[in-house]
């Protein structure tokens, strides 16, 4: 752990030899340093395959890894109050840390928790053999625009089987549920559906009909059991025996919460060594709209889930919500612990949320240590949405670092 974050970042050199640049900014009357460099994206190919579960608006595993390695030791508790697909939780477990994760969206735990208790592939094969491929009854909604009738029957049968076991489910059930949830729709033959948008964005039935008409396509049969096994192999292919042991060890006492981030009584005072998180950014991402089909498969009410997710439409509303979150983070953070709070430039670069976050954290009692801006080349998905490199969008990786006084 560095004796001085400023000293560490000033001397940090990127993989391509670039030195860190630094400037002083004033946020709400508080002077902090802002550091620019490629701190972790050059290492993005080093990520474990266990992370490869799609979810809208999630950061790369290298981001939490950077802070986990820098600020924590084996056995420390790492927390994410806006867990999403569980990137921080999974990376913390891989690094031998203990895990606490929270998200108002129950799909977060569905996607994250199973990867802390990965089953053997033979167990997945055996369990799938117990699942009927039909006799699942009716879907209750029209899914004909997404699935071949035989595929649809398999999905409904699997859904019925998993929902029926929910009270007595084990790690294998949870794994199959997670993989199937991730395979529901996508843009390749590796998914259950006909060609559609990337798997983290489920379009409406009406939109899918238009896609089918425009492409002249009809849903083809997909063997759902074979695809679940294929994705399971992909998720586990680059997980070493040591990492598998670390995941399962962390899974034994990992805490997954589903609730508001400003009220987490299940977390003891001063329990957390490091928080790495990325909160909802104003009204940019419509989580419930993107996840309606995943909610259906898991027996969840998409409208109810969406109603609880923060979609503040003004910076002032967002600050009010995040102020309460910072107060709770201060309570659960141990003296000397850190918070790495990732935000981005939104509204086409007109709003730099890092400058709003600094006084929020300070107001809760934290000491602002600086703002890190990770210089990076955007992904294909970002370019699809018209986001220019390092000028706008939610994945510009601006991270505000706070420390709780000793």
Q: Are 97 and 337 in contact (CB under 8 A)?
A: no
pLDDT-based confidence at residue 312 (cuts at 50, 70, 90): confident
Q: Tokens 């790369």 belong to which residue?
A: 60
With a cut of 60, say whether residue 45 has pLDDT above it: no
Q: Where are the alpha helices (DSSP H) in 102-148?
A: 107-112, 121-130
Element (H, E) at 399: strand 393-403
All domains of the chain in start order, with CATH: 5-109+241-289+304-403 (3.40.50.150), 121-235 (no CATH)
With a cut of 50, say whether residue 5 has pLDDT above it: yes
With a cut of 50, say whether residue 387 has pLDDT above it: no
Work out the angle at residue 55's Cα, subtended by the Cα atoms of residues 50 and 56, and round it to the nearest 5 degrees: 150
| Helix-helix angle 149-164:171-182, to 10 degrees | 150
Q: What tokens appear for 336 in the block?
A: 């000397």
With a cut of 90, say whether residue 76 has pLDDT above it: yes
Work out the angle at residue 48's Cα, subtended by the Cα atoms of residues 300 and 281, and round it to the nearest 5 degrees: 50
With a cut of 60, say whether residue 396 has pLDDT above it: no
CA distances, 363 to each of 25, 28, 170 (Å): 18, 10, 43
The rounded distance, in Å, linking the Cα atoms of 326 and 127 is 43
DSSP 19: B
Q: Supply the pTM of this predicted model.
A: 0.90
The rounded distance, in Å, linking the Cα atoms of 82 and 259 is 10
If we measure between CA atoms, which residue out of 385, 394, 392 comes closest to residue 349?
A: 392
With a cut of 70, say whether residue 113 has pLDDT above it: yes
With a cut of 80, say whether residue 122 has pLDDT above it: yes
Helices and strands: H and E segment counts in the chain: 16, 10
In this structure, what are the phi and psi dihedrals at residue 30, rounded to the nearest 5 degrees? -110, 125
Least confident of 2-16, 171-185, 238-252, 346-360: 346-360
With a cut of 60, say whether residue 377 has pLDDT above it: no
Mean pLDDT of 360-381: 82
If we measure between CA atoms, which residue out of 356, 344, 370 comes closest to residue 315?
A: 356
CA distances, 280 to each of 119, 250, 353, 398 (Å): 32, 26, 11, 14
The distance of Cα 87 from the centroid of its chain, to the nearest Å, equals 5
pLDDT at site 374:
87
Work out the angle at residue 52's Cα, subtended by the Cα atoms of residues 393 and 222, and round it to the nearest 5 degrees: 110
């Amino acid at each position: 752990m560095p004796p001085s974050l400023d000293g560490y970042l000033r001397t940090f050199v990127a993989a391509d030899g670039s030195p860190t640049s630094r400037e002083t900014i004033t946020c709400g009357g508080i002077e902090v340093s802002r550091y620019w460099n490629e701190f972790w994206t050059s290492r993005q190919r080093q990520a474990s395959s266990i992370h490869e579960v799609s979810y809208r608006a999630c950061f790369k595993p290298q981001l939490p890894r950077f802070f986990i390695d820098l600020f924590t030791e084996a056995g420390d508790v790492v927390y994410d109050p806006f867990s999403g697909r569980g990137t921080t939780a999974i990376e913390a477990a891989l690094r031998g840390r203990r895990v606490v994760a929270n998200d108002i969206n129950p799909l977060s735990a569905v996607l994250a928790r199973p990867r802390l208790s990965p089953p053997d592939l033979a167990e997945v094969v055996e369990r799938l053999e117990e699942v009927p491929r039909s006799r699942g009854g009716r879907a209750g909604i029209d899914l004909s625009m997404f699935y071949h009738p035989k595929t649809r029957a398999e999905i409904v049968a699997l859904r019925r089987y998993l929902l029926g076991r929910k009270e007595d489910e084990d790690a294998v059930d949870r794994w199959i549920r997670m993989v199937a949830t991730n395979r529901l729709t996508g843009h390749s033959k590796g998914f259950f559906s006909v060609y559609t948008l990337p798997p983290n964005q489920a379009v409406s039935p009406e939109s899918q009909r238009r896609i089918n008409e425009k492409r002249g396509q009809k849903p083809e049969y997909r063997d759902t059991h074979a695809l679940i096994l294929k994705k399971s192999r992909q998720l586990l292919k680059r997980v070493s025996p040591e990492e598998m042991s670390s995941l399962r060890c962390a899974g034994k006492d990992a805490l997954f919460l589903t609730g508001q981030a400003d009220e987490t009584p299940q977390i003891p005072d001063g329990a957390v060594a490091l928080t790495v998180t990325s909160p909802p950014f104003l009204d940019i991402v419509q989580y419930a709209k993107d996840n309606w089909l995943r909610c259906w498969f898991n027996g969840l009410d998409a409208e109810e889930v969406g109603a609880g997710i923060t979609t503040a439409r003004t910076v002032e509303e967002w600050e009010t919500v995040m102020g309460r979150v910072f107060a709770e983070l201060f309570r659960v953070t141990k003296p000397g612990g850190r918070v790495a709070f990732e935000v981005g430039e939104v509204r086409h670069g007109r709003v730099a949320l890092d400058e709003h976050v600094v006084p929020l954290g300070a107001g809760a009692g934290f000491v602002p240590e600086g703002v890190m801006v990770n210089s990076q080349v955007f992904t294909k998905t970002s370019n699809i949405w018209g986001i220019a490199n390092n000028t706008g969008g939610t994945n510009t990786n601006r991270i505000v670092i706070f420390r709780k006084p000793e």
